[in-house]
């Protein structure tokens, strides 16, 4: 009988007497195999740990803290659910292959699903509307008016608002939008600047030598992480079977400087350089909604396909006349017929759609719209279940999202376009005033379409209260409506002057707290202002009239 060796193995020369080790034991899962994913992670942490500290006898030893998160435990119940989780970086998770699949599937849903199409169009229309309007804020009023007028004419000619709506829709279904600032000799405007939109498929790499430089799928960066140039394919990868008249090969590309490229996407993770469709979390839900709808429709059609079903209450081999089972008979309209003896006509009871059909579809649509911050009534296109209070409450998050998108469009897209336009405009003779060519900067802001209120009377009362309490300004109130306050005030002054000239009394808002149509109380007489010599003014002369009072 051999003796078991109980001695510890001899320590190798140079090996420390003690080392830091780590071991993972799944609590509550004793006797089962340890999780290989957690074990490998802990082994990596242990291998990177510093050498142990030598503690003297007098050194208090630290207490061992044992803590855990329930979500970090892997059990048989959640193993399959967390099986697809990974530790990929933002660019690795959204690699070209993944983005290619997501783009194609999102485009398919938007092209074939009415709810998806409606969501994309609604977001694009609500964010961009009829287009942004430029307001210059330089000290020179003449420069402000002429720059605003010329830029507005150029924006209408190049269809800037339409291109912005296309870019916002591309962010939803493609994840990102690209625009190239280029020269278009065909424009009638003196400024030949144009914005040419391209799809995300065209921004990619075809040269393997670029793998040695800091780059991410068509974008080359410098050491500081700033984009340097974009590689744009001359032919869309999907045009291989469509003749476009372009001479070249599908792998040929142009290097576009980063200053001439507008790249608009939502960065969800640090270090992310390409966008994924905003509809990505909702794509499986669209498939579920379609399958459920088709299944309900098939069940309803199957029940409706049977016009008449013959049945008998007689037992087998009873008195009913024998009939061939599963036999079919063609029926004619407006006919009279007889039935076999002992048989009665009936119809299959339709069980679909059930009473929960509308509720289930509504829940799926609410879940789809949540990833886009769109309220339920906007996603469904139906507000019959809403009242005034719930409608306003649900729209607060939606309007906040719209303001965020508008500010992002102003920072990333519009300011870039306006800067390029000014660089071209100041070179055109007699297009802008001379002071505009010597300015170091051009302060400005953008106005967007306002949102109509469901109760204009309540909104007008609230606006009057804010103005009376000095908690807002005319500029802020006009900005809520997407208007520039200065042109509006000037226009109102012209209308009041014309009304006085024609003898028409202009409409004046009722004082705060007074019902419209009630005659206003006479205004108190102004207190006499002492003259320079300390004597009160002569009452025989009427006090001066403030011409701006009606404003």
Is the domain of 185 the same as that of 218?
A: yes
Residue 259 contacts residue 226 (beta carbons within 8 Å): no
DSSP 8-state code for residue 220: E
Which of 35, 59, 85 is at the close of a domain?
A: 85
pLDDT of residue 130: 93
Is 284 inside any structural domain?
no
Token pair 């070179």 in the structure block, residue: 427
Question: Could you tell me if 26 and 43 lie in one domain?
Answer: yes
Reading phi first (left if > 0) and then psi (alpha if -120 to 50, else beta), residue 273 is in: alpha
On whether both 272 and 132 belong to a single domain, the answer is yes
CB 425 within 8 A of CB 433: no
174 lies in the same domain as 235: yes
Cβ(406)–Cβ(316) below 8 Å:
no
Q: Is the pTM of this model over 0.85?
A: no
Position 140 in a domain: yes
Q: What tokens were used for 76?
A: 């048989």
Residue 3 lies in a domain: no
Q: Which of 177, 181, 218, 208 is nearest to 196 (CA)?
A: 181
Specify whether 470 is located in the same domain as 439: no
How far, in Å, CA of 225 to CA of 215, rounded? 9
Q: Cis omega (within 30 of 0) on the bond before 353?
A: yes
Chain segment 45-87, per-residue pLDDT in tens: 555 555 555 555 565 666 665 667 888 888 888 888 888 899 9
144 and 235 together in one domain: yes
Both tokens assigned to 468: 């009376």
Residue 195, burial from CB neighbour count under 10 angstroms (0-12, 13-18, 19+): buried
What interhelical angle do 357-370 and 283-305 show, nearest 10? 160
Q: Are residues 309 and 197 in the same domain?
A: no
Domain count, the chain: 4
Q: What is the largest CA-CA distance in the chain?
A: 137
Are residues 429 and 464 part of one domain? Answer: no
73 sits in the region (left: phi over 0; alpha: psi -120 to 50; else beta) called beta
Residue 465 in domain: yes
Q: Is residue 530 part of a domain?
A: no
Q: Which domain holds residue 303?
A: 299-331+338-380
Helix 114-128 to helix 357-370 angle, to the nearest 10 degrees? 40
Q: Are residues 314 and 460 in the same domain?
A: no
For 340, the token pair is 């076999």
Q: Is residue 546 part of a domain?
A: no
State whether 425 and 346 are in the same domain.
no
Q: In Å, what is the CA distance from 226 to each residue of 230, 378, 472?
A: 12, 38, 40
Residue 267 in domain: yes
Contacts of 187 (CB under 8 A, 6+ apart): 157, 158, 194
Cα separation, 455 vs 378, whole angstroms: 18
Q: What is the CA radius of gyration of the chain?
A: 37
Within-domain flag for 525: no
Element (H, E) at 404: helix 388-409
Say if residue 255 is in the same domain as residue 310: no
Residues of the chain scoring pLDDT < 50:
1-4, 6, 8, 14-33, 531-551
Structure tokens at 240: 């291989």
Query: Residues 229, 306: one domain?
Result: no
């Amino acid at each position: 009988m051999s003796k078991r060796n109980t001695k510890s193995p001899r320590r190798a020369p140079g090996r420390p007497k003690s080392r830091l080790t780590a071991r993972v034991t799944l609590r509550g899962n004793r006797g089962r195999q340890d999780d290989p994913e957690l074990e490998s992670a802990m082994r990596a942490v242990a291998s990177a740990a510093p050498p142990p500290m030598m503690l003297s006898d007098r050194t208090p030893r630290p207490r061992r803290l044992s803590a855990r998160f329930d979500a970090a435990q892997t059990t048989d119940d959640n193993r399959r659910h967390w099986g697809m989780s990974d530790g990929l970086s933002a660019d690795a998770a959204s690699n070209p292959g993944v983005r290619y699949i997501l783009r194609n599937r999102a485009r398919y849903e938007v092209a074939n699903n009415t709810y998806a199409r409606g969501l994309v169009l609604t977001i694009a229309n609500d964010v961009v509307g009829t287009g942004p309007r430029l307001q210059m804020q330089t000290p020179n009023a003449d420069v402000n008016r002429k720059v605003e007028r010329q830029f507005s004419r150029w924006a209408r000619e190049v269809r800037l608002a339409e291109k912005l709506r296309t870019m916002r829709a591309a962010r939803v279904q493609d994840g990102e939008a690209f625009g190239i600032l280029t020269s278009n000799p065909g424009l009638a405007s003196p400024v030949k600047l144009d914005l040419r939109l391209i799809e995300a498929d065209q921004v990619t790499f075809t040269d393997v030598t670029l793998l040695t430089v800091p780059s991410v799928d068509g974008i080359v960066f410098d050491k500081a992480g700033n984009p340097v140039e974009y590689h744009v394919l001359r032919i869309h990868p999907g045009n291989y079977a469509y003749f476009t008249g372009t001479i070249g090969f599908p792998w040929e590309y142009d290097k576009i400087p980063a200053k001439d490229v507008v790249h608009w996407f939502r960065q969800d993770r640090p270090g992310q350089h390409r966008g994924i469709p905003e509809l990505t979390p909702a794509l499986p839900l669209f498939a579920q909604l379609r399958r459920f709808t088709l299944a309900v429709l098939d069940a309803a059609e199957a029940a409706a396909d049977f016009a008449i079903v013959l049945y008998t209450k007689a037992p087998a081999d009873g008195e009913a006349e024998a009939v061939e089972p599963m036999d079919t008979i063609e029926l004619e309209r407006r006919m009279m017929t007889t039935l076999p003896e002992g048989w009665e006509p009936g119809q299959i009871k339709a069980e679909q759609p059930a009473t929960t059909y509308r509720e289930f579809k509504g829940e799926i649509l609410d879940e789809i719209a949540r990833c886009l911050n769109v309220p339920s009534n906007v996603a469904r296109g139906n507000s019959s279940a809403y009242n005034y209070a719930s409608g306003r409450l649900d729209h607060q998050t939606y309007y906040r999202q719209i303001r965020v998108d508008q500010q992002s469009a102003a920072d990333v897209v519009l300011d870039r376009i306006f800067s390029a336009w000014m660089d071209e405009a100041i070179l055109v003779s007699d297009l802008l005033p001379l002071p505009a060519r010597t300015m170091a900067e051009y302060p400005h802001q953008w106005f967007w379409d306002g949102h109509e209120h469901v109760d204009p009377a309540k909104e007008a009362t609230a606006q009057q209260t804010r103005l009376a309490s000095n908690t807002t300004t005319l500029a802020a109130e006009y900005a809520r409506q997407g208007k520039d306050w200065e042109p509006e005030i000037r226009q109102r002054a012209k209308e009041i002057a014309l009304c006085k000239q024609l003898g028409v009394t202009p409409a004046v808002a009722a004082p705060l707290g007074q019902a419209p149509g009630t005659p206003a109380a006479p205004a108190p007489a102004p207190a006499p202002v002492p003259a320079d010599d300390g004597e009160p003014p002569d009452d025989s002369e009427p006090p001066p009239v403030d011409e701006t009072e009606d404003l």
